[in-house]
Amino acid sequence: MKVQLSSSFPKAYLAASGQEALDIAVRERPDLIMLSDSLPDVATEDLCRRLREAPATAQSMLVVMVQDAGRSKRSRLLAAGADDLFARTQPEALLLSRLRCLIRARGTEEEMSLRETTGRAFGLAEAAAHFEQPANVALVTQRSAAALDWHHALTRLSRHVFRPFPMSEALRWFQSGGASDVIAIDTDSCDPKAVIRLIVEVRSRPASRHSEILLITGDHNAPVLSDALDHGASAVMTFGFDPREALLRMETLVRRKQIADRMRRRLHDGLRDSVTDSLTGLYNRRYAEPYLERLAEDSRHAGRPFALVLADIDHFKQVNDTYGHPAGDAVLMMVADLLRDNLRARDLVARFGGEEFLIVMPDTGAGEARIVADRLRVRLAEAPIAVPGREARIQVTISMGACVETTPPEAAVPALIERMIDRADRALYAAKNAGRNKVALAPAEDPV
């Protein structure tokens, strides 16, 4: 076994007993622990529990190599914490494919653990624990009798929702955007090419690409298994269908998917929070500046102009001083909503700092930029704003400075963006000095 694994795992440790395995595992913190189902000093299922309870090995993948293990023993091993059970006689190609899948899954769980640990180190409170919703499980088999038997047996044992599919219907379901948390495929009844096609379809569709895929077979020598794993299947159950074992394996896959889903949600939320303003929901300066650089590059290649507008709420300090900061927040949110709702979907609106907003309009010349800015100015002036604790609405106006540029071929983009912001800022001050509630356009030939 060590020779078989040497190409994939450069470090492998051998242990002659359960206690020796535990000592080595706690010291070395391995990615993968492979155990015999018969150890000289401890029951394998007890060792699985001890490894799962030890902090050093809680995230390690546990595989038990079994020989003629009955249904009851297999279920006990999985319930004790084993991630998978491998027949000792399975082909080497299948062994390595299954191990690669386990290592990929371990990487996802390790990343989730790292993010949570980092959050705690910064004093961030963890999200409150919540009950996960029942999973949706697709049962794909060409045997109608088996489909009914599987469905009834699993439904009696689990709160999850099971839906049987023949292969052709499953293909149509996922091609049309259907999704399931787990897809269990009866590879013994399905054409191997159809199995691979279904996996490819599932992995290529946004709604289903993160689904877990369990292959169920009574023949671990079937050539399709290794190909299916390498195309994106998650795990293989090689001892035929047994409802308790199948459910334990599905529970493991559901748990992994829920961990991965939570990690993706947290990553999405973290990225969103890092580039958006929490009060207005607009993009912030951190996002706007790289966006401007990309737009300037596009302008260079396409030879089309783009407009940059800086907008500043007039006398905003007086709003805060007179009505309080809640009123100031209400004004900022109202202005943000008005700007966002009255521009094209392709235009960018960002809160640039304080009461200042940035508007970026691709493919926009000077005349159009001025017209749009003036329309926004008028709409705000005609829309008094309701503020907390005050019956009468308050009137606010906005001043705007705009500049338009087409990126020259020889221009350095960061310097160009800095220059545009400076030009728009000077135009904004010109609008303020002209009496406020004005739009000013930077001259076409503005000196650097």
pLDDT in tens, 211-234: 999 999 998 888 899 999 988 899
What is the helix, strand, coil percentage profile of the chain, to 5? 50, 15, 35
- Closest by CA position to 181, among listed 155, 145, 208, 206: 208
Q: What's residue 448's pLDDT? A: 37
d(CA 54, CA 131): 25
Q: What's residue 114's pLDDT? A: 55
Contact 299, 305 (CB under 8 A): yes
Q: What's residue 268's pLDDT? A: 62
Q: What's residue 115's pLDDT? A: 53
Which domains, and CATH codes, for the chain? 134-213+223-275 (3.40.50.2300), 283-441 (3.30.70.270)
CA 398 to chain centre: 38
Q: What is the pTM of this model?
A: 0.63
Ranges of the chain with pLDDT below 50: 118-131, 446-448
pLDDT in tens, 50-105: 999 999 898 888 999 988 778 888 999 999 999 999 988 888 888 888 888 888 77
Whose tokens are 């290649």? That residue is 301
Q: What's residue 129's pLDDT? A: 44
Contact 444, 423 (CB under 8 A): no
- Running DSSP on this structure, what letter comes out for residue 239? S
